[in-house]
């Protein structure tokens, strides 16, 4: 056995890789519950790819056959129902896990220096995952699949000048049709999964370069023993491989329970309207994306001329503050930016702004490492302002998510608009509230 | 080792190679990008459709499929037509000034060739949902007590009147599209073609 290993090691750095990434990869010893979600996201990725491969053996990407082929999988293919439900319920669980994984970063400052690039790769993974889920949802060719795709592809129409041509290029036809279904199939089963796997690999390489953060937000590499091993670190294998295994098993229990007893979760994981074949003449009474998109969808719908009017007011106010508070060059820059923004707010109509705000609500995540000015990374040592801001973000995210599933009129619309502004406030006011927030001193070593 | 190396020449050659490579990559990408545009078959589909409206009673709406889109043909009652001018103040573009949204012959108060017959594409100008028909005037659970009849988009709450004109302060920026169409006789309409030819 040892001879074989030596033979391999001469030709491939097997032992080296194993040591670098597992047996001698030192992770902080104080990981808690929130540190399960990375491995769980990996498990979900593998499960989605695995079940997806088996689904493609029976699925037909053709508008005339797609819907029936999915029903065929559900009814006639041996165990087809299980594989399909693992995949469709799996996508929702994937998003649950990824959202919790991202929330963990916000709790403990895992996006902060030196992990900016790790965080950026993660946000790219999140966006790729959204694209993957969106294209996968068209494949069953249900009525919600069809109209959901119709609405989202129409977003590109809003881009000035090139919009309509771009939307046509994405659809491959003047409307969502066979060409669209076929290409979404290609993207969903090969192009985006390949990108995702590569990105996840890069994400882990970046993580192992900078080392894991921890609930105290302390760099364990700063305190090392004589052998250069972090005092607060323990080898990933066997300590965390075993811990993660327990987490994975518990998670799979919960996941299986949902797959077996409530795979559609009352319409939250698979919408009722999607059990009707696509009908190009009949929009479902409510076009609602799946829950993991509804917060962003809500932002899109909340943007009407009233909100644009409110935004104009806010920009003018911000400009006034800059006029009195800022000095010299930064005042000029601030005023110039306010002027440009104001001009854009007058020139582009609410439809374009809806798309811009929705895209912006995602892109802002990229800037988080630089928006956050707090001396403490972990929420344990931050003051009340960040805690309040994070609570407001989570609350408005949930409210937006819920409102995204309800008709957009009356009080719902106004609440969605308020939550949209609060969502953006979390990011845009962050440099201000994190720099004046009173933090507690961060300890030298990790705590229990 | 690097003695006698002409650095300028090396840099020039590196840049030249990269440049030629980039141009080559651009050419190589072109067929793949263009392969995703609508195919010849997709372009050929979309012939005009002929509709018999003799059985359409006043107040009734018929949906026809044209180029994969729903086209509504609504025979409006005199009351419906009377309600239109009163709405002007609540509308974003009551006089149909956005010229892309209708052919010139439908740029009039009723947005139609014959006042009573409305032909519009039933796709919301916001994000492409198909609005639901709320033709009856009166009170409505979603639209309030003084609804004058029209169309309501369930996706994002846009409202249109019985001439497909968009209300103010809704997400949809423009009126519903009136497709090119013409009357072959009093009871026959062609959608997708007018006196100027095909659309």
pLDDT computed for residue B197 by the predictor? 62
pLDDT computed for residue B199 by the predictor? 53
Residues in A touching B62 (Cβ below 8 Å): none
CB B160 within 8 A of CB B146: no
CA distance B82 to chain A (A): 27
In a domain, A5, yes or no: no
Residues A370 and A432 in one domain: yes
Residues A260 and A383 in one domain: no
CA distance A309 to chain B (A): 11
CA distance A421 to chain B (A): 17
Give me the mean pLDDT over the B175-188 stretch.
90
In a domain, A1, yes or no: no
What ipTM was predicted for this assembly?
Answer: 0.81
Number of folded domains that form chain A: 2
Residues in A touching B41 (Cβ below 8 Å): none
**Chain A residue closest to B142 (CA)?**
A409
Return the closest-CA partner of residue A264 out of A272, A254, A256: A272
Return the closest-CA partner of residue B155 out of A283, A175, A157: A283
Residues A107 and A170 in one domain: yes
pLDDT computed for residue B83 by the predictor? 86
Which residue in the set A284, A301, A349 is minimally distant from B156, CB to CB? A301
Q: Establish how many alpha carbons lie within 13 A of residue A66's alpha carbon, considering only the half-sphere containing its beta carbon.
A: 26
Residues A89 and A121 in one domain: yes
- CB-count exposure of residue A206 (10 Å: 0-12, 13-18, 19+): middle
Confidence band for B49, pLDDT divided at 50, 70 and 90: confident
Residues in A touching B171 (Cβ below 8 Å): 301, 303-304, 350-351, 354
Q: Which of B65-92 are b and which e, b meaning 16 or more Cβ less than 10 Å from the residue's Cβ?
A: ebbebbbbbbbbbeebbebbeebeeebb
pLDDT computed for residue B194 by the predictor? 82
Q: What is the C-alpha separation between A5 and A13, in angstroms, rounded?
A: 10
Residues A91 and A122 in one domain: yes
In a domain, A278, yes or no: no
Confidence band for A121, pLDDT divided at 50, 70 and 90: very high
pLDDT computed for residue B1 by the predictor? 54
Residues A208 and A305 in one domain: no
> Over 70: is that where the pLDDT of A63 sits?
yes
Residues A322 and A249 in one domain: no
Most confident of the ranges A264-273, B13-22, B88-97: B13-22
Residues A105 and A191 in one domain: yes
Cβ neighbour number for residue A164 with a 10 Å cutoff: 14
CA A89 to chain centre: 17
| Catalytic residue selected from B62, B126, B156, B181 | B156
Six-digit token string for A58: 């029976």
Confidence band for A36, pLDDT divided at 50, 70 and 90: very high
Six-digit token string for A426: 């979390």
Which residue in the set A175, A280, A306 is minimally distant from B169, CB to CB? A306
**Chain A residue closest to B152 (CA)?**
A285
Residues A258 and A298 in one domain: no
Q: Are A281 and B37 inside 8 Å of each other by CB?
A: no
Q: Are B155 and A287 inside 8 Å of each other by CB?
A: yes
Residues in B touching A351 (Cβ below 8 Å): 126-127, 171-173
Q: Are A301 and B173 inside 8 Å of each other by CB?
A: no
Q: Could you read off the pLDDT of A308-347 as tens digits, one per residue?
A: 889 989 888 888 888 887 777 878 888 888 888 888 888 8
Residues in B touching A172 (Cβ below 8 Å): 36-39, 42
Decide if B156 is catalytic.
yes
Q: Are B157 and A407 inside 8 Å of each other by CB?
A: yes
Q: Could you read off the pLDDT of A181-222 as tens digits, one per residue?
A: 999 999 999 999 999 999 999 999 999 999 999 999 999 999
Q: Are A281 and B169 inside 8 Å of each other by CB?
A: no
Which residue in the set A151, A175, A183 is minimally distant from B127, CB to CB? A151
Domain membership of residue A248 as a residue range: 22-270
Q: What is the C-alpha separation between B181 and A61, in angstroms, rounded?
A: 35
Residues A34 and A159 in one domain: yes
Q: Identify from B32, B65, B90, B129 which residue to disrupt to test chain A contact, counting A C-beta atoms within 10 A and taking the largest count.
A: B129
**Chain B residue closest to A167 (CA)?**
B37
**Chain B residue closest to A143 (CA)?**
B129
The CATH number of whichever domain residue A390 belongs to comes to 1.20.810.10
**Chain A residue closest to B171 (CA)?**
A304
Six-digit token string for A330: 């930064």
Give me the mean pLDDT over the B142-150 stretch.
80
In a domain, A277, yes or no: no
Sign for the pseudo-dihedral over CA of A81, A82, A83, A87: positive
Residues in A touching B176 (Cβ below 8 Å): none
CA distance A173 to chain B (A): 5
**Chain B residue closest to A349 (CA)?**
B173
pLDDT computed for residue B2 by the predictor? 62
A244-253, A381-390, B107-116: segment of lowest average pLDDT? B107-116
- CB-count exposure of residue A163 (10 Å: 0-12, 13-18, 19+): middle
CB A163 within 8 A of CB A189: no
Q: Identify from A409, A410, A411, A417 which residue to disrupt to test chain B contact, counting B C-beta atoms within 10 A and taking the largest count.
A: A409
In a domain, A34, yes or no: yes
CA A441 to chain centre: 32
**Mean predicted lDDT score pLDDT of chain A:** 93
pLDDT computed for residue A216 by the predictor? 94
Residues A295 and A173 in one domain: no
∠ CA(B56), CA(B129), CA(A61), 5° rounding? 105
Q: Are B36 and A285 inside 8 Å of each other by CB?
A: no
Q: What is the C-alpha separation between B98 and A305, in angstroms, rounded?
A: 18
Write a three-state SS string for chain A. CHHHHHHHHHHCCHHHHHHHHHHCCEEECCCCHHHHHHHHHHHHHHHHHHHHHHHHCCCCCCCCCHHHHHHHHHHCCCCHHHHHHHHHHHHHHHHHHHHHHHHHHHHHCCCCCCCHHHHHHHHHHHHHHHHHHHHHHHCCCEHHHHHHHHHHHHHHHHCCCCHHHHHHHHHCCCCCCHHHHHHHHHHHHHHHHHHHHHHHHHHHHHHHHHCCCCCCCCCHHHCECCCCCECCEEEHHHHHHHHHHHHHHHHHHHHHHHHHHCCCHHHCCCCHHHHCECCCCCCCCCCCCCHHHHHHHHHHHHCCHHHHHHHHHHHHHHHHHHHHHCCHHHHHHHHHHHHHHHHHHHHCCHHHHHHHHHHHHHHHHHHHHHHCCCCCCCHHHCCHHHHHHHHHHHHHHHHHHHHCCCCCCHHHHHHHHHHHHHHHHHHHCHHHHHHHCCCCCCCCCCCC
Cβ neighbour number for residue B190 with a 10 Å cutoff: 16
Q: What is the C-alpha separation between A192 and A186, in angstroms, rounded?
A: 9
Confidence band for A406, pLDDT divided at 50, 70 and 90: confident
CA distance B152 to chain A (A): 10
Sheet with B61-66, side-by-side order of all strands:
B61-66, B69-75, B117-121
**What would you report as the CA-atom Rg of chain B, rounded to the nearest whole angstrom?**
26
Residues in B touching A170 (Cβ below 8 Å): 36
Residue with tokens 């829950």: A291
In a domain, A446, yes or no: no
Count contacts between A and B (CB, < 8 Å): 102
Residues in A touching B36 (Cβ below 8 Å): 169-170, 172, 183
pLDDT computed for residue B198 by the predictor? 57
Q: What is the C-alpha separation between A240 and A36, in angstroms, rounded?
A: 10
Give me the mean pLDDT over the B32-47 stretch.
86
Confidence band for A229, pLDDT divided at 50, 70 and 90: very high
pLDDT computed for residue A246 by the predictor? 96
pLDDT computed for residue B109 by the predictor? 87
Q: Identify from A408, A411, A414, A415 which residue to disrupt to test chain B contact, counting B C-beta atoms within 10 A and taking the largest count.
A: A408
**What would you report as the CA-atom Rg of chain A, rounded to the nearest whole angstrom?**
24
DSSP chain B: --TT--HHHHHHHHHHHHHHHHHHHHHHHHHHHHTTSPPHHHHH----EEEE-TT--TT-EEEEEETTEEEEEEE--HHHHHHHHHTGGGBSSTT---GGGS-GGG-STTSSSSTTEEEEE-S-TTTS--PEEE-S-EEETTTEEEE-SEEE-TTT--EE-TTSPBBTTSS--SPPPPPPEEESSSSEEEESEETTEE-
> Over 90: is that where the pLDDT of A255 sits?
yes
Q: Are B128 and A157 inside 8 Å of each other by CB?
A: yes
Give residues with Cβ within 8 angstroms of A354, minimum separation 6.
Answer: A158, A299, A300, A301, A302, A303, A304, B171
- CB-count exposure of residue A140 (10 Å: 0-12, 13-18, 19+): buried
Return the closest-CA partner of residue B170 out of A349, A361, A412: A349
Residues A315 and A414 in one domain: yes
Q: Are A173 and B132 inside 8 Å of each other by CB?
A: no
């Amino acid at each position: 056995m040892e001879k074989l290993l030596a033979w391999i090691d001469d030709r491939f750095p097997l032992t080296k890789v194993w040591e670098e990434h597992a047996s001698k990869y030192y992770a902080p010893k104080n990981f808690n519950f929130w540190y399960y979600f990375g491995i769980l996201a990996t498990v979900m990725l593998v499960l989605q790819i695995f079940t997806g491969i088996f689904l493609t053996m029976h699925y037909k990407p053709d508008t005339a056959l797609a819907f029936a082929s999915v029903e065929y999988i559900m009814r006639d293919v041996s165990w087809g129902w299980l594989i399909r439900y693992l995949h469709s319920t799996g996508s929702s669980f994937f998003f649950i896990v990824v959202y919790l994984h991202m929330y963990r970063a916000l709790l403990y400052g895992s996006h902060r220096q030196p992990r900016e690039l790790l965080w950026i790769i993660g946000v790219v993974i999140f966006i790729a995952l959204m694209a993957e889920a969106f294209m996968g949802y068209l494949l069953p060719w249900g009525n919600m699949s069809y109209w959901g795709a119709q609405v989202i592809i129409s977003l590109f129409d809003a881009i000035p000048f090139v919009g309509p041509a771009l939307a046509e290029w994405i659809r491959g036809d003047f409307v969502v049709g066979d060409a669209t279904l076929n290409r979404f199939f290609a993207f969903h089963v090969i192009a985006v999964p390949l990108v995702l796997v590569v990105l996840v690999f890069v994400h882990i390489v970046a993580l192992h370069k900078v080392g894991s953060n921890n609930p105290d937000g302390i760099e364990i590499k700063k305190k090392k023993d004589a052998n250069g091993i972090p005092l607060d670190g323990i080898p990933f294998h066997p300590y965390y491989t075993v811990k993660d295994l327990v987490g994975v098993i518990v998670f799979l229990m919960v996941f299986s329970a949902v797959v077996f007893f409530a795979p559609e979760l009352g319409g939250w994981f698979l919408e009722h309207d999607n059990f009707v074949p696509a009908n190009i003449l009949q929009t479902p009474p409510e076009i609602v994306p799946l829950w993991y998109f509804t917060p962003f969808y809500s932002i899109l719908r909340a943007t009407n001329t009233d909100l644009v009017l409110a935004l104009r007011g806010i920009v003018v106010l911000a400009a006034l503050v800059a006029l009195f508070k800022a000095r010299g060059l930064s005042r000029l820059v601030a005023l110039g930016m306010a002027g440009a923004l104001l001009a854009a707010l007058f020139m582009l109509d609410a439809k374009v702004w809806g798309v811009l705000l929705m895209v912006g609500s995602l892109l802002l995540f990229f800037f988080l490492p630089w928006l956050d000015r707090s001396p403490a990374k972990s929420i344990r040592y931050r003051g009340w302002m960040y805690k309040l801001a994070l609570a407001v973000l989570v609350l408005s995210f949930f409210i937006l998510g819920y409102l995204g599933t309800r008709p957009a009129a009356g009080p719902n619309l106004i609440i969605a608009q308020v939550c949209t502004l609060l969502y953006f406030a979390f990011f845009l006011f962050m440099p201000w509230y994190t720099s004046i927030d009173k933090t507690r001193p961060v300890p030298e070593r990790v705590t229990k | 080792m690097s003695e006698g190396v002409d650095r300028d020449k090396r840099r020039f050659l590196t840049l030249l190679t990269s440049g030629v490579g980039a141009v080559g990559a651009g050419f190589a990408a072109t067929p793949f990008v263009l392969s995703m545009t609508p195919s010849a078959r997709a372009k050929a589909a979309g012939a005009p459709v002929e509709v018999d409206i003799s059985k359409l009673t006043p107040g009734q709406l018929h949906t026809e499929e044209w180029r994969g889109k729903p086209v509504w043909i609504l025979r409006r009652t005199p009351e419906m037509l009377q309600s239109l001018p009163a709405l002007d103040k609540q509308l974003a573009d009551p006089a149909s000034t956005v010229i892309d949204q209708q052919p010139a012959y439908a740029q009039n108060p009723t947005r139609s060739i014959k006042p009573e017959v409305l032909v519009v594409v039933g796709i919301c100008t916001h994000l492409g949902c198909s609005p639901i028909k709320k033709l009856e005037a009166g009170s409505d659970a979603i639209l309030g007590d003084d609804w004058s009849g029209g169309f309501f988009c369930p996706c994002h709450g846009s409202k249109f009147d019985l001439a497909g004109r968009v209300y103010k302060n809704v997400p949809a920026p423009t009126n519903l599209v009136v497709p090119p169409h013409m009357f072959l006789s009093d009871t026959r309409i062609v959608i997708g073609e007018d006196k100027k030819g095909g659309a």
